[in-house]
Amino acid sequence: MSLQKLPTSIGQLHRLQNLYLWGFSTLQELPTSIGQLNALQNLHLRGCSKLQELPTSIGQLNALQKLGLWESSSLQELPTSIGQLHRLQNLYLGECSSLQKLPTCIGQLNALQHLDLWGCSTLQELLTSIAQLNALQNLDLRGCSTLQELSTSIGQLNALQELNLSQCSSLQELPTSIGQLNAL
């Protein structure tokens, strides 16, 4: 499919709860009007390999619970407005191979339970702000081959039940604070 952008009129779909755009490998941008989708709970953009960034208006999606950006291999960073998604429970960034770091505001996602960074092969660090994710139950770092260390603040993730570090080939050592993860 050769869809490169969505029409700005998509922001008029005020009752839209689920938006799935899978396999639109030529999609390059989302309109800022996407922030007007007040009822949107699930936004899944799988395989949108030309998508380089999300509009800052994404932070206006107050009802958003799941954001899936799997295989968005050109996505280089997340906007800081993502920290405003206070109902976000699941953030899927698997195989976003150009994503080098998460914004510090990631720690503001109080409801986040699942953070999938599988295959983010250029992700170099996890910020200390990740310790603020009090509801985080699952952290998938599989295949983060350039990740060299985990912050000692990871020991503050009291709700963490699953931590996947498979194929993190550059990881030198685990912080001693990992022993504080009582839910594991």
CA–CA separation, 112 and 80 (whole Å): 16
Q: Phi and psi for 33 in degrees, rounded to 5?
A: -65, -10
Pairing between β-strand 42-44 and β-strand 18-20 as defined by DSSP bridges? parallel
**b/e for 113-132, b at 16 or more Cβ within 10 A?**
bbbbbbbbbebebbbebbbb
Q: Domain 43-49+62-180 maps to which CATH number in 3.80.10.10, 3.90.1150.10, 3.50.50.60, 3.40.50.300? A: 3.80.10.10
CA–CA separation, 38 and 4 (whole Å): 24
% of the chain residues with pLDDT over 70: 99
Enumerate the H helices of the chain as residue ranges: none
Per-residue pLDDT at 1: 58
Q: Hey, where are the domains in the chain?
A: 43-49+62-180
CA–CA separation, 44 and 71 (whole Å): 11
In a structure prediction context, what are the per-residue pLDDT tens digits for the chain, which is 184 residues long?
588 999 999 999 999 999 999 999 999 999 999 999 999 999 999 999 999 999 999 999 999 999 999 999 999 999 999 999 999 999 999 999 999 999 999 999 999 999 999 999 999 988 899 999 999 999 999 999 999 999 999 999 999 999 999 999 999 999 999 999 999 8
